[in-house]
């Protein structure tokens, strides 16, 4: 009897062990025996189930159910932190879950259209914990206007110089599509970026960017001063008082080469880093007779005469 009981017990243990091994191999083990490390990217605002489906689709795990259970046991909530993770198809679900529970090796950074490079530097310094040298390296790497605003996936130890180069390279990639159009219209690239930066700061959105472009071109062609407040803001902006301060009446008399109330033509350099919509607006402006414009009620109202401009001010701003 005792021997039979022992045999039964050992048989049960063996069966359970084989079953556990089978379950582990089928659901929890690594898909491959040997594999190089790869980047697994978690997009922004991605729920946990979407991340698990992406892991499964890219061949990092054998079972979505197993991954979900292990992530839950590791304390991962509804979302895995967005970013890039260094993982391998030779890692089992426990190791992958542990990796996803750590800070990502690559971080998402969003840099908005219309920011000046100092603003970008402040945001990046906070995100990457840069020291003053890295911050200044970023600012001094290139001229204003070529730090292309976009969403970037960046190594967490990215330096100021490396980030500036990354953004400059992205600018060159984007602008290449417009080289032929620039040549055909005989517009210099630096002129394009200057005007695009003005549009970026003046337009309320993509909808009126081409209208603002048409008005700026009209003023330039007839020799009118641009009278754009954003150029005053650029001249007076600083870290202490804000990079885009409210413009007062006396500010429009400030001595600065960027003051388009005092100086005819374009400012000496771009006043911000424009996006593609503003660059396209420079090349394809809306045809209009307008020389003046105001913003009110989330719309742009323009006029061909100064008297019409005054009427718009009375009607929409008072």
How confident is the model over 64-105, as pLDDT tens digits?
A: 999 888 888 877 777 889 999 999 999 999 999 999 989 999
How crowded is the C-beta side of 245, counted as CA atoms within 13 Å?
A: 16
CA–CA dist 245, 259 (Å, integer): 14
Q: Which residue has the higher pLDDT, 241 or 9?
A: 241
Q: Which two tokens stand for residue 200?
A: 């970026």
Structure-token pair, residue 80: 């895995």
Residue 253: DSSP 8-state: G
Residue (of 82, 147, 146) closest to 121 by Cα position = 147
**Residues counted in the chain:** 318
Tens digit of each residue's pLDDT (9 = 90 or more) over 2-48 = 565 565 455 545 444 444 444 544 567 888 889 899 999 999 988 98
Q: How far apart are CA 91 and CA 88, in angstroms?
A: 6
Q: Strand 151-155 vs strand 292-296: parallel, antiparallel, or unpaired?
A: unpaired
* C-beta atoms surrounding 189 within 10 Å: 14
Instruction: Check: pTM over 0.75? Answer yes or no.
Output: yes
Q: What is the β-pairing status of strands 292-296 and 299-303?
A: antiparallel
In 107-116, which positions are buried (b, 16+ CB within 10 angstroms) versus exposed (e)?
bbbebebbbb
**Rounded (5°) CA angle 144-145-146:** 100
Q: Taking residues 43-67, what's their average pLDDT?
A: 92
Give the whole-angstrom CA distance, residue 167 versus residue 184.
27
| Chain centre distance of CA 296 | 28
Both tokens of 239, joined, read 């870290």
Tell me 79's DSSP state: B
Choose the weakest-confidence range: 112-126, 211-225, 290-304: 290-304
* Confidence check: pLDDT of 258 > 70: yes
Q: How many CB atoms lie within 10 A of CB 235?
A: 18
Is residue 44 helix, strand or coil?
Answer: coil
- Residues 202-209 have a mean pLDDT of 89
Say if CB 34 and CB 88 are below 8 A apart.
Answer: no
3-class SS of residue 195: helix
Q: Give me the mean pLDDT over the 286-302 stretch.
A: 92
What is the SS3 assignment for 10?
Answer: helix
């Amino acid at each position: 009897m005792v021997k039979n009981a022992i045999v039964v017990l050992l048989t049960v243990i063996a069966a359970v062990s084989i079953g556990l091994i089978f379950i582990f191999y089928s659901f929890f083990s690594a898909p491959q025996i040997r594999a190089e490390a790869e980047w697994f990217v978690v997009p922004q605002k991605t729920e946990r189930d979407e991340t698990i489906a992406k892991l499964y689709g890219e061949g990092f795990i054998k079972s979505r159910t197993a991954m979900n259970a292990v992530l839950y046991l590791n304390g991962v909530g509804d979302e895995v932190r967005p970013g890039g993770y260094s993982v391998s198809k030779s890692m089992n679900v426990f190791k992958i879950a542990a990796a996803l529970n750590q800070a990502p090796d690559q971080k998402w950074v969003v840099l908005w259209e219309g920011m000046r490079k100092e603003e970008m530097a402040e945001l990046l310094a906070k995100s990457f914990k840069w020291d003053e040298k890295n911050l200044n390296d970023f600012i001094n790497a290139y001229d204003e206007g070529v730090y292309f605003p976009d969403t970037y996936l960046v190594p967490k130890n990215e330096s100021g110089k490396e980030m500036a180069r990354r953004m400059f390279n992205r600018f060159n990639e984007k602008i290449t599509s417009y080289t032929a159009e620039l040549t055909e219209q005989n517009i210099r690239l630096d002129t394009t970026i200057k005007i695009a930066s003005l549009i970026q700061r003046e337009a309320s959105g993509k909808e009126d960017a081409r209208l603002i472009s048409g008005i700026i071109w009209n003023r330039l062609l007839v020799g009118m001063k641009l009278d754009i407040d954003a150029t005053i803001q650029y001249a007076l902006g600083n870290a202490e008082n804000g990079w885009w301060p409210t413009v007062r009446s006396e500010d429009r008399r400030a001595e600065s080469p960027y003051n388009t109330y005092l100086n005819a033509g374009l400012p000496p350099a771009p006043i911000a880093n424009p996006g593609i919509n503003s660059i396209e607006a420079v090349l394809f402006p809306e045809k209009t007779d307008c020389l003046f414009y105001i913003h009110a009620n989330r719309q742009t109202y323009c006029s061909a005469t100064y008297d019409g401009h005054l009427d718009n001010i009375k009607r929409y701003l008072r």
